[in-house]
């Protein structure tokens, strides 16, 4: 009999397998894709943001209403522990000016390879192209390249991912196996469609920097990108849950100036200048910001200074869920014990993106996956120890 089965080879599943195998237990890790960590590698394509170095109160607050559910996991394996873990795998890290923590080499692949070597040395058996298809009592059924397969482990950790980036293995098909324990999936950290006029075409691909974005009570000062599809990027992702839920997006193009200061600068400009020149010379707005004023302020009765400070977007539609970086929905926390075991299935634990949380980017998502993977792995370890005592 297999002692421990981990289903899913992302950060949460790999961490659970690490915890269990380090304690001397035999572990089988089943992954639906040809290799493990595919989404992890994609996340690190432009620099692997592992975590964020900031006061724990701020780190917890980034998870919003989900913070209480994750408090214990993050207290045990938070930003400092993530950095120490990467260093222990031979991957030095550095902290950027915004507090974001990256491996010195920036890439995810060296870290994943080092982790893979550690797990192999601990005896973890990885079975790829194995798709979990159902239950039969204590048995777990799989589709494999060789046909159907069944495993009957003492404990199981489910780390099956969310429902975005299906091409990398996170397709959410597992949700049908957990039924009423799962909340419907919704996109998180995604872009939004905007019906741009042809006048915006020259600005597609331009980054909008130095702004403040608000959506209801949510706010961000990260940059975002104007594209032919709409708007996307870190500044949008940080407030995407509020936008998805219907809060209007308002853009402050000059957050370091008051409205009165903006008005004074505009008033000092020559009245003979065109609007574009007034925005460029008096306020030093770059081309994409000027284009946004023209695009979104057209037909508005608001004074120009007010538009600069509170430029309203039209109602926004989220881009398709499979384009989102992550999803909310998934296994409800009410269906889980404190150590992330399914109440309805003793010995089965859940971790990572398959949990019902709105995890922001910027290091929070990966840290949360690692932390919940560790909690689930330790819960499964205690269950094994109880069975053998």
Per-residue pLDDT of the chain (389 residues; tens, 9 = 90+): 679 999 999 999 999 999 999 999 999 999 999 999 999 998 877 789 999 999 999 999 889 889 999 999 999 999 999 999 999 999 999 999 889 999 999 999 999 999 999 999 999 999 999 999 999 888 999 999 999 999 999 999 999 999 998 999 999 999 999 988 999 999 999 999 999 999 999 999 999 999 999 999 989 988 999 999 999 998 999 899 899 999 999 999 999 999 999 999 998 887 778 888 888 888 899 999 999 999 999 888 889 999 999 999 999 999 999 999 899 999 999 999 999 999 999 999 999 999 999 888 889 999 999 999 999 999 999 999 888 76
Note the pLDDT of residue 1: 66
Residue 167 to residues 155, 276, 287, Cα–Cα distance (Å): 28, 44, 36
Q: What is the pLDDT of residue 299?
A: 82
CATH code assigned at 103: 3.50.50.60
Q: Residue 359's pLDDT is what?
A: 80
Whether residue 93 is found in the same domain as residue 47: yes
CB 331 within 8 A of CB 178: yes
Q: Are residues 331 and 344 in the same domain?
A: yes
pTM, two decimal places: 0.90
In this structure, the answer to whether residues 158 and 244 fall within a common structural domain is: no
- The pLDDT value recorded for residue 222 is 83
Shared-domain flag, residues 174 and 43: yes
Last residue of a domain, one of 302, 318, 334: 318
- On whether both 244 and 349 belong to a single domain, the answer is no
Domain stops at, among 318, 345, 361: 318
Summarised one tens digit per residue, pLDDT across range 360-378 is: 888 999 999 999 999 999 9
Full domain range(s) for residue 306 = 196-318
Contacts of 228 (CB under 8 A, 6+ apart): 196, 201, 204
CB 352 within 8 A of CB 13: yes
Q: Among all chains, which residue has been given the structure tokens 């299906």?
A: 166
Residues β-bridged to residue 31:
128
Question: Sign of the C-alpha dihedral, residues 32, 348, 383, 50?
Answer: positive
**166 and 27: one domain?**
yes
Q: Do residues 267 and 147 share a domain?
A: no
Of the three residues 285, 303, 318, the one that is the final residue of a domain is 318
User: Would you state the pLDDT for residue 185?
Assistant: 94
pLDDT in tens, 37-63: 999 998 877 789 999 999 999 999 889
- The helix-helix angle for 109-121 and 11-22 (nearest 10°) equals 30
The number of domains in the chain is 2
CB 110 within 8 A of CB 91: yes
Q: Which residues does 319 contact at the CB level (< 8 Å), separation at least 6?
A: 187, 190, 191, 192, 193, 229, 230, 232
Q: Give the tokens for residue 151.
A: 């495993």
């Amino acid at each position: 009999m297999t002692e421990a089965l981990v289903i899913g080879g992302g950060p949460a599943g790999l961490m659970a397998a690490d915890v269990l195998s380090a304690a001397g237990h035999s572990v089988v890790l089943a992954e639906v894709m040809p290799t493990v960590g595919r989404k992890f590698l994609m996340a690190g394509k432009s620099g692997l943001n592992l975590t964020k170095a900031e006061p724990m109160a701020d780190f917890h607050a980034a998870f919003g209403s989900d913070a209480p559910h994750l408090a214990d996991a993050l207290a045990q394996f938070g930003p400092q522990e993530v950095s120490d873990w990467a260093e222990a795998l031979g991957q030095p890290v550095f902290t950027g000016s915004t507090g974001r923590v990256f491996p010195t080499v920036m890439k995810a692949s060296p870290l994943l390879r080092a982790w893979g070597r550690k797990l192999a040395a601990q005896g973890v058996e990885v079975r790829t192209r194995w798709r979990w298809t159902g239950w039969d009592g204590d048995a777990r059924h799989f589709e494999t390249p060789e046909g159907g397969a069944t495993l009957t482990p003492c404990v199981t950790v489910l780390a099956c991912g969310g429902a975005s980036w299906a091409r990398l293995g996170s397709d959410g098909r597992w949700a049908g196996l957990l039924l009423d324990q799962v909340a419907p999936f919704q996109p998180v950290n995604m872009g939004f469609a905007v019906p741009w006029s042809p006048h915006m075409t020259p600005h597609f691909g331009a980054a909008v920097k130095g702004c403040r974005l608000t959506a209801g009570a949510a706010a961000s000062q990260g940059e975002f990108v104007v594209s032919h599809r709409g708007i996307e990027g870190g500044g949008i992702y940080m407030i995407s849950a509020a936008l998805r839920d219907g809060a209007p997006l308002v853009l402050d193009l000059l957050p370091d100036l008051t409205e009165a200061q903006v008005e004074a600068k505009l008033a000092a400009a020559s009245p003979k200048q065109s609007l574009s020149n007034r925005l460029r010379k008096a306020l030093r707005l770059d081309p994409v910001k000027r284009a946004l004023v023209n695009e979104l302020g057209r037909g508005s009765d608001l004074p120009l200074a007010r538009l600069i400070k509170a430029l309203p977007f039209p109602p926004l539609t989220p881009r398709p869920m499979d384009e989102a970086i992550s999803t909310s929905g998934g296994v409800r926390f009410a269906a889980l014990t404190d150590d992330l075991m399914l109440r309805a299935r003793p010995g089965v634990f859940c971790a990572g993106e398959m949990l019902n949380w709105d995890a922001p980017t910027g290091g929070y998502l990966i840290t949360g996956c690692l932390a919940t993977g560790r909690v689930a792995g330790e819960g499964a370890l205690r269950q094994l120890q109880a069975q053998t005592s």
